[in-house]
Structures are given as structure tokens and as C-alpha cells.
A = this chain, B = another copy of it.
Amino acid sequence: MWVVWVHGSLYGGSLGFGVVLACRKGGERPGVPRALFLPSFLPFALPQPFRLPSLAPWLCPAALCWLLGAVTPTHSLQVSPLPGAACKTPMEGEPTLRLRIFDLNCWAIRYLSKRRQERVRLIGDTLRQEGFDLVLLQEVWSEQDYSDLKVKLAGCYPFSHYFRSGVIGSGLCVFSRFPILDTLLYQYSLNGYPYMLQHGDWFGGKSVGLVIMKISGIIFNVYITHLHAEYCRDKDAYLPHRLVQAWELAQFIRHTSKAADLVLLGGDLNMHPEDVGIRLLRGWTGLRDAFAEATHFEGCKNGCTLVPNNCFTDKSELLPFPLGIRIDYILYKAISSFTVKCEELKTTTGPAPGMDIPFSDHEAVMATLHIQRQGQPAGATLGTADLALADVVTEARTEVGVGLRAAQRQRYSSGRMAVLALLLLLLQAVAALGTLAGLGTEQPFPKLSFCLLAFLALGVLVLATGLHLFHTMEVKMLHGTEDQMWMALRALQERPSEG
């Protein structure tokens, strides 16, 4: 909470002086001074001292970002070089490896998510007790939450990484029992619109994070991501952006995983299992869905991860899906001479054990993978399904094309608006100069409305220019993706003739 106190006093009836004291209760955020003194000369009259309790700083996007954790301590996330007491040991040196993975969208938005701190503590406690091998978390927007988890989990998961991106962050972090050798972040080129403040995805800088690990001599490329949310399934304005993200994700995985023995992807993909984006991702990378492949499953029906039973979900949004929807995934494939099987897949089902609340508005996905150093890679079925894949790529390309045309229209409208505003401003300038030069003897317009109009035109010019630039970038990226998909289609079509 912020408390703001403003005191003003008159100087000659036209100047005021204000001192603002902003301070936060509690010391939750190191690195930010607990009190900020912002003295300022305010060049107008203050009829009386004001008191403005609770200044509602979320009205201002800058303050919003600040609150959501944009201001964070400078130092963090130093991975401890030596592991502490690991909770469990995999069968090192043996020909098989059993890997337990935990994936959860934590819904930890500072000041907005319900019972956030309690839930983050709960998640930390459970992770410590359960002792997974690898933990993939999304929507950990506050670096403070990450740091708290890091401290709590230092014994059990000595290695971790937090991916920074965008204004608020990527929200992505990884905890691991095994050393992290290297990381790489790829920020999606499209991610919604900055002016859609109510959705806010743009500010999150959605990305895919890559973490490289070596477990028992096996090289793992672990990818974690969170794609753009779907706010209205019937008329999904963000579908082209999500498809570009799915494509970039698939391309990034393909191009960076060539030296890996095993590829894992976990995250909130914001796509239903049969959506074109996930078919594209699965088809283009050869990744397999742990839910579909699991020998044993336990959890919400159909593996749903956003269910009406969860006390934090928006029931009205899930009305068309009485069982819920499955949008959180663990996907995997073996690349070199390894086989990987999903022995068991579980989801949480509402409240955490012994608690009255669940971990998040999403259910967690937990997979147990069984990896063996023998046989041919099981994921190499790409060639046989080329025709089906070409259909998927064509479908995705069509949707990207629809988005491209919409973006072109928006770019044109905003460009026209900017030009009109510029013309209006120029006309006003000419009119004002004409009046000053004494061309018109009387003034044909009231000064106040003339000034207001000029400011309006300036505002429209700045806004429309910004929009034009943004939509120009959008067009470029959609166009580039369309081209890449075309190239992929050509490669798919040429493949049989080559073989």
C-alpha cells in the first residue's frame, strides 16, 4: 500500500509548492527505498492543503509496472556452485534414468492475484517436500517471489534461473537438482498490443527460455514458455500473434536442440490440445505430449489444467467447457540414441493437500519420464507424417495471413490519422502565423479552443504515430513468419522427391 501526502501553499496566487511523501508498509522489496521524497514546484495556485490518501497508482502504467515488480534488487539469482543435500538421487551411471518434472503457471501477479504470498509459500513447501528433479514455473512476475523460492529451495534444488524480459518480466523460472550449464532467452517478436492495458500480455515480454543441463551424461535441452493468453475463443484477436509465437517456439527448438539428447518443453501454451498452434508445434518439432503418451494418468479428467472446480478460476469463462480445458503441457522427445517414455502423468485437483486453497488458478502438471540409452530415437516419425504436417502449416499460414491483413489495415488507419493530425497542426500554425503577421485584422477563433485543438491534434499525432510504428513492426513480423512457413511448406513438399 502507498500513502501519499500532498501539502500545497500559495505564493502570489499563481505558484504552489508541494511535497509528496510516498512510503510502503512492510519491507518486502529490497532495493527500493522505503520512503521517497519528491519535492516539486507546481506552477499553479493551490486553494487549500489537500490530502490524497491512497493515490490509486495503478491508474498510471508506470506505477503499475513498478508495483508488479519492475523495480527489483540489482543482485539476485546467483546459482550456488555446489549442490547441497540433494533430495533423491537418480540412477546415475545406470542405463536408465527416471526424471520427475513439475510444471505450473503460478498466477503470482503482485497486488492482483488472490492470496499470492500464501500460495507461493505453499508451492515452495510442496516442492521441497516432493523433491522433483526439475521444476518449471510460469507467471512468477515478481523477482522477490523468485528470490524467496530460491532461498527456500536452495537445499533441494540448488540450481535455478530466472528469465528477465519485457517491462514486467517473462515470469519464467526454472529450479533444478542438476547443474544448469547454459541458458538462452528468445523473446517472441509479437506479443499483443501495448495499448491493451486490460490484458497486459505485451508488458510481460513473453519468451521461451532454454536451459541446458547434463544429467548422467545425457544432454537435456529444457525449454520453458508461456504464450499469449486467449481472452475470447469465439473471436480471438490474438490468434495470429499466438501462432507466430508457436512457430517461433518450434523453430527455436529445432535450431537449438541439435546437440541435445533429450528435449523437454513445459509451460502454459494457452492452446487447447487440438488447436492449430499446438499441432504445428508438435508436428514441426516432433515433440510428444506427455498426457497422450502416459502409461498411467491421475488427476483432472482429460488432463485439464484450468478447471471450474478451482476456486480461483473464472467460472463464466469455462461455461462452454464443463470439465475445464487443458492448456498446460509437458512435451518431450529423444533426439539421439535414447528412448523416452512417460511412465506417469499427474495433475493436481484443486486444494493442495491439507489446505483450503489450490497452488494457483491453474493445476500443476507432474510427469515421470523414463529415459533409456538404447534403440532408435522414438520421435523420428517426422517423415511419415509430412503430408499431415503440410496441412497444419498451411492452416497456420492462413491464420497468420488473416492477421497480416488486419495489421496492414490498422497500420494504414493509424498512418492516415497521423498525417491528418499533422496537417491540422500545420494549418493551425499557418493560421496563427497569419494572425500574428496581421493578415487577418480580427481574430476569427477563440484562443482557448484554438489551443485545446492544437493539443488535441498533437496528442493524436503522437498516439497515431506510435500506433503506426507498432503496426508496421507487426506487419513485418507477420509477413516474415508467412514467408518462413512458405519455405517450410516447400521443404515438406520437396522432401519425398529427394528421398
Contacts and interface: CB of A to CB of B under 8 A. Distances in A.
Interface stretch (A292-300, A362-370, A446-454): A446-454
Interface string A69-83: 011001001110100
A424 B60 CA distance: 13
A60 B465 contact: yes
Given A6-B427, A472-B70, A480-B165, A445 B62 contact: no
A13 interface: yes
A413 to B, nearest CB: 12
B480 A184 contact: no
Interface in A6-26: 6, 8, 13-14, 16, 18, 20, 22
A406 interface: no
Interface in A157-205: 163-167, 169, 180-187, 189, 194, 203, 205
Given A70-B472, A81-B490, A477-B164, A60 B422 contact: yes
B427 A46 contact: yes
Contacts of A123: none
A398 B486 CA distance: 43
A434 B47 CA distance: 9
A50 B427 contact: yes
Interface string A135-157: 00000000000000000000000
A319 interface: no
Given A44-B453, A164-B477, A479-B164, A184 B252 contact: yes
Interface string A318-330: 0000000000000
Interface string A419-437: 1101110111011001100
A416 B20 CA distance: 11
Contact of A74 (B181, B408, B455, B473): B408
B189 A165 contact: yes
Contacts of A462: 459, 462
Given A55-B426, A448-B451, A184 B251 contact: yes
Given A42-B427, A63-B419, A451-B448, A167 B473 contact: yes
Contacts of A205: 473, 476
Contact of A258 (B8, B259, B414, B449): B259
**Copy number of this protein in the oligomer?**
2
Contact of A476 (B166, B404, B426, B490): B166
A262 interface: no
B477 A165 contact: yes
Nearest to A210: B255
Interface in A454-499: 455, 458-459, 461-462, 464-465, 468-469, 472-473, 476-477, 479-480, 483-484, 486-488, 490-491, 494
A378 interface: no
Given A447-B448, A451-B448, A469 B167 contact: yes
A217 interface: no
A78 B184 contact: no
Contacts of A440: 47
Interface string A252-270: 1011101100000000000
Given A44-B450, A62-B464, 8 more contacts: A6-B423, A8-B427, A38-B416, A52-B426, A81-B494, A165-B189, A166-B476, A448-B448
24 contacts: A18-B427, A22-B419, A38-B423, A43-B453, A48-B434, A48-B439, A50-B427, A62-B419, A62-B468, A63-B419, A77-B483, A164-B477, A164-B483, A167-B472, A180-B487, A181-B491, A182-B488, A183-B484, A184-B255, A203-B469, A256-B256, A451-B451, A458-B459, A459-B462
